[in-house]
Amino acid sequence: MNIEEIRKLFPMITNNSQKKLVYFDNAATTFKPQCVIDKEVEYYTFYCANTHRGDYDIAYQADTHYDEARKIVAKFINATKKEVVFTSGDSMSLNLIAFGLIHLLKKDDEILVSVLEHASCLLPWYKVCDIVGCKIKFIEVDENGNITPENLKKAMTNKTKIVSLAHVGNVLGNVNDVKALAKIAHENNALFICDGAQSAPHMKIDVKELDVDFFTFSGHKCYGPTGIGVLYGKYELLEKLEPYQLGGGMNASFDMCGNVKYLYPPEKFEAGTQNIAGAIGLARALEFLLDIGMDNIYQYENELKKYCVSKMKELDNVELYNSNTPTGIVAFNIKGVFAQDGASLFNRYGICVRSGEHCAKLIHNFLGVDQTIRASFCFYNTKEEIDYFIEICKKGGDFLDAFFA
Ligand SMILES: Cc1ncc(COP(=O)(O)O)c(C=O)c1O
């Protein structure tokens, strides 16, 4: 498939082809291909029944599709089906891990994170520390925003129980060497939790090869529906993890004395009616990605990033913060212009970018600035779109004229 063929599969692109719409906010969420929309509609149109509950044909069909969806997710990350829990999104997955591990933590245990983490990878641990009395420690970040094995080693002590880091940073698009970091965590008997929100949509993920204990991501950043996400955990760890939501569909039995026997993972973590359509839609999105090829996606987005950076370096009114990172995220500011005003200027010309702290509110400790503009590319973006974006960047030097033009 060439880029034009790919773009035709996304109604948000084809339906908006009359007006200028350049979508560079793919790190926030992605457009959905028609096949994903069709798949969700298929559930609501042809076999809209609850899972695990009905003794009739369409309930059986819903069960089969939901189960198949889990298999496809497992294949996408090279896990087994029983290691894949459906959640509402990456944030829920990370919360589920943190609160599910509370009973294994004790006062003064240490949890290692970095200042570049998204709030969802940090705040659950803050709360756990409040409850248990353990401590958050920040690992030093190198000049590209990465955690080096050396810096992780320096931060580890015999009290470190958890290392929780993003695979790909959502502000800088840096890629951590997760395999090396997980190995160090394991040598020190700590667990390694990998927030894959920004990696799963853009590169091949093999949880066995990375040897992470937990891996999380959101469907909506992977061209799938909102309200669905994934928690992968090594099975023996899922067995130890406590469920933090209880209800129907996750228990084997309970009695009047308060005794509850849980089902085995992954059902143990899926209380209540699940986002069935979301799971089925997500699986379709992941099949779509596999068809395009994750290595092709990574390479194409890396090309876009390099192209954009080379053009931006020619501009003297732009401050770039992450020229060297390999994924499709460009973090920058227009000199002398507040980031949100910059984003409004781009919007004035039909370009969607994000401004602010990007939910990583400790980022100023690393960058020295509070706010950045983030342009994030994906495989349906083009160099022509980047050329247009560069023209608008140039106008930013004369911000007020450009804004009111
Ligand atoms: C690195 C990272 N972690 C976690 C999240 C949270 O994802 P969600 O809002 O889909 O739960 C995001 C979302 O931007 C992210 O970029």
Compute, in angstroms, the gap from residue 196 CA to the centroid of ligand 1: 9
In the block, tokens 């029983």 appear at 82
The predicted-structure confidence for 75-117, as pLDDT tens digits, reads as follows 999 999 999 999 999 999 999 999 999 999 999 999 999 999 9
Alpha-carbon span 271 to 89, nearest angstrom: 15
Domains of the chain: 3-31+293-404 (3.90.1150.10), 36-290 (3.40.640.10)
* Residue 166, ligand 1, Cβ within 6 A: yes
The predicted-structure confidence for 327-362, as pLDDT tens digits, reads as follows 999 999 999 999 999 999 999 999 999 998 888 888
Q: Which has more confidence, 390 or 356? A: 390
* Radius of gyration (C-alpha) of the chain in whole angstroms: 22
* Residue 170, ligand 1, Cβ within 6 A: yes
What average pLDDT score do residues 10-14 get?
Answer: 96
User: pLDDT band at 397, cuts 50/70/90?
Assistant: confident
* Residue 218, ligand 1, Cβ within 6 A: yes
Q: Whose CA is nearest to atom 12 of ligand 1?
A: 197
Q: Between helices 276-292 and 57-77, what is the axis angle to 10°?
A: 40
88 Cα nearest atom in ligand 1: 11
* Residue 195, ligand 1, Cβ within 6 A: yes
CB atoms within 10 A of CB 89: 23
The predicted-structure confidence for 178-225, as pLDDT tens digits, reads as follows 999 999 999 999 999 999 999 999 999 999 999 999 999 999 999 999
* Residue 294, ligand 1, Cβ within 6 A: no
The predicted-structure confidence for 19-55, as pLDDT tens digits, reads as follows 899 999 999 999 999 999 999 999 999 999 999 877 9
218 Cα nearest atom in ligand 1: 10
Alpha-carbon distances of 73 from 38, 193, 364, rounded to whole Å: 18, 18, 35
Q: Which amino acid, residue 269?
A: F
* Residue 132, ligand 1, Cβ within 6 A: no
CB atoms within 10 A of CB 130: 9
pTM, entire model: 0.97
Query: Which sequence positions are flagged as catalytic?
Result: 359
* Residue 199, ligand 1, Cβ within 6 A: no
Compute, in angstroms, the gap from residue 216 CA to the centroid of ligand 1: 10
In the block, tokens 């500011």 appear at 333
User: pLDDT band at 146, cuts 50/70/90?
Assistant: very high
Residue of 29, 91, 167 to mutate, ligand 1, most atoms within 8 A of C-beta: 91
Cα angle 221, 225, 227 (rounded to 5 degrees) comes to 90
Compute, in angstroms, the gap from residue 90 CA to the centroid of ligand 1: 6
CB atoms within 10 A of CB 86: 24
Q: Whose CA is nearest to atom 16 of ligand 1?
A: 170
* Residue 194, ligand 1, Cβ within 6 A: no
* Residue 227 token pair: 């309200």
Residue of 25, 116, 120 to mutate, ligand 1, most atoms within 8 A of C-beta: 120
* Residue 68 predicted with pLDDT over 90: yes
Strands 135-138 and 260-262, by their bridges, are unpaired
Q: Whose CA is nearest to atom 15 of ligand 1?
A: 197
Alpha-carbon span 223 to 145, nearest angstrom: 26
pLDDT at 87: 98
The predicted-structure confidence for 272-281, as pLDDT tens digits, reads as follows 999 999 999 9
* Residue 400 predicted with pLDDT over 70: no
DSSP state of 396: G
- Which of 298-311 are b and which e, b meaning 16 or more Cβ less than 10 Å from the residue's Cβ? bebbbebbebbbeb
Q: Establish whether the linkage from the previous residue to 225 is cis, with ω within 30° of 0.
A: no
Compute, in angstroms, the gap from residue 222 CA to the centroid of ligand 1: 12
CB 1 within 8 A of CB 292: yes
Compute, in angstroms, the gap from residue 300 CA to the centroid of ligand 1: 23
358 Cα nearest atom in ligand 1: 14
* Residue 89, ligand 1, Cβ within 6 A: yes
Which helix (H) or strand (E) is 330 found in, with range? strand 329-334
91 Cα nearest atom in ligand 1: 11
Q: Whose CA is nearest to atom 7 of ligand 1?
A: 90
166 Cα nearest atom in ligand 1: 1
- Looking at every residue in the chain, the average pLDDT score rounds to 95
Compute, in angstroms, the gap from residue 359 CA to the centroid of ligand 1: 8
* Residue 198, ligand 1, Cβ within 6 A: yes
* Residue 216, ligand 1, Cβ within 6 A: no
Under 8 Å CB-to-CB from 32, ≥6 apart: which residues?
10, 11, 12, 223, 224, 225, 281, 285
DSSP string, 62-128: HHHHHHHHHHHHHHHHT--GGGEEEESSHHHHHHHHHHHHGGG--TT-EEEE-TT--HHHHHHHHHH
- Which of 252-289 are b and which e, b meaning 16 or more Cβ less than 10 Å from the residue's Cβ? eeeeeeeeeebbebbbbbbbeebbbbbbbbbbbbbbbb
Alpha-carbon span 324 to 174, nearest angstrom: 8
221 Cα nearest atom in ligand 1: 10
Closest to 90 in 3D by CA, of 167, 171, 18: 167
